[in-house]
Amino acid sequence: MAKLYVVATPIGNLQDWSPRAVETLKNADLIAAEDTRVTGKLCQIHGIHTPLTSCHQHNEGSKGEYLAEKMAAEDLTVALTTDAGTPCISDPGYALVKACIERGIEAQPVPGCCAAIAALSVSGFDTREFTFYGFLPREKKDLREKLREIAGGTPVAVVHESPFRVTDLVETIRDEIPEARLSVSCDLTKLHEKTIQGNPEEVLQRLKDNPKTEKGEYCLVLDLHGVPRPAPEEDRTAATPEARIIDLMIREGLTLRDAQNELILRGEKKNAVKQAALTLKRMFEEKE
């Protein structure tokens, strides 16, 4: 009877791969790999000689349908792998799993490594509730909007980021959610694994001070306990990044004028800062 095994692979340390995962790949009729070269090296190390075929983000729509049809017709057992970690979690595989389920083919997990779960486990945050967002939008405007959405969601959020964009992401988090706490993990399970924690400003500075920041893959955990919920729609003009930062500075003891000047010194646009300060001043006056 046809069957699909969704097999997690190591994210760095080869010793994290379970004997069950190795046996599953050995006994499968075919391995559907994100990259046959990457999974091929893994197979070579463990003496696995099962044929491989590619199933990646650019072909998984058509390839998933094709493989599911072939599995049903020939009663094949297929093992699905990604380059590192668990298939379908910010990686290809969804289309094949969906196509198999639609044809009555059982999909069974062979669990193992997942960068998001590994990062959560060492964050030190209360992770009884969390939301996984994968990679966030690249465009600044879209990123800001997504972070505002995240700030209004569950108490803990997990995201992935490239080493080339992680500094920009943390900088935007500082602007949008300055009250958040961060746990930023890089090169999980690898030789130079590192996790740094603190508020966005502290983490940003450590990233900027590290000449090797642009190496390795990043997983960020945001602790949003205590972060103010986004303003209601009628107060949306006051919920600009500049207004939120000024408001936080005021609550920490600065005057409105000092907070405004401090933000301008950080390099924020003067007009945007002044408009935010004016809006906050009007709000304060209305509450008096």
Domain boundary among 63, 89, 113: 113
pLDDT at residue number 251? 80
One domain for residues 90 and 187 = no
Q: What is the pLDDT of residues 24-78, one digit of tens each?
A: 999 999 999 999 999 999 999 999 999 999 999 899 899 999 999 999 999 999 9
What's the domain range around 207? Answer: 116-223
One domain for residues 92 and 39 = yes
Tally of domains in the chain: 3
- The rounded percent of the chain whose pLDDT value lies above 90 is 74
For residue 18, give every residue at least 6 positions away whose Cβ sits within 8 Å of its Cβ, in sequence order, or none: 110, 112
**Range in 19-23, 88-92, 224-228 with the lowest mean pLDDT:** 224-228
Asked whether residue 228 is assigned to any structural domain, the reply reads: no
One domain for residues 123 and 156 = yes
Asked whether residue 277 is assigned to any structural domain, the reply reads: yes
One domain for residues 146 and 192 = yes
35's enclosing H/E stretch is none
CATH of the domain at 145: 3.30.950.10
One domain for residues 193 and 144 = yes
One domain for residues 245 and 279 = yes
CATH of the domain at 73: 3.40.1010.10
One domain for residues 217 and 255 = no
> At residue 234, does pLDDT exceed 50?
no
One domain for residues 184 and 172 = yes
Strand segments (E) across 8-113: 30-33, 52-54, 77-81, 106-110
100's enclosing H/E stretch is helix 94-102
Average pLDDT, the chain: 91
Instruction: Name the pTM for this structure.
Output: 0.78
Q: What is the pLDDT of residues 177-212, one digit of tens each?
A: 999 999 999 999 999 999 999 999 999 999 999 999
One domain for residues 27 and 59 = yes
For residue 278, give every residue at least 6 positions away whose Cβ sits within 8 Å of its Cβ, in sequence order, or none: none
Asked whether residue 261 is assigned to any structural domain, the reply reads: yes
- Using alpha carbons, select from 192, 196, 115, 189 the residue that is nearest to residue 158: 115
Asked whether residue 207 is assigned to any structural domain, the reply reads: yes
Domain boundary among 113, 131, 165: 113
One domain for residues 156 and 210 = yes
Residue 275: pLDDT band with limits 50, 70, 90: confident
One domain for residues 206 and 237 = no
One domain for residues 79 and 137 = no
Using DSSP, state whether 54 is helix, strand or coil.
strand
Asked whether residue 81 is assigned to any structural domain, the reply reads: yes
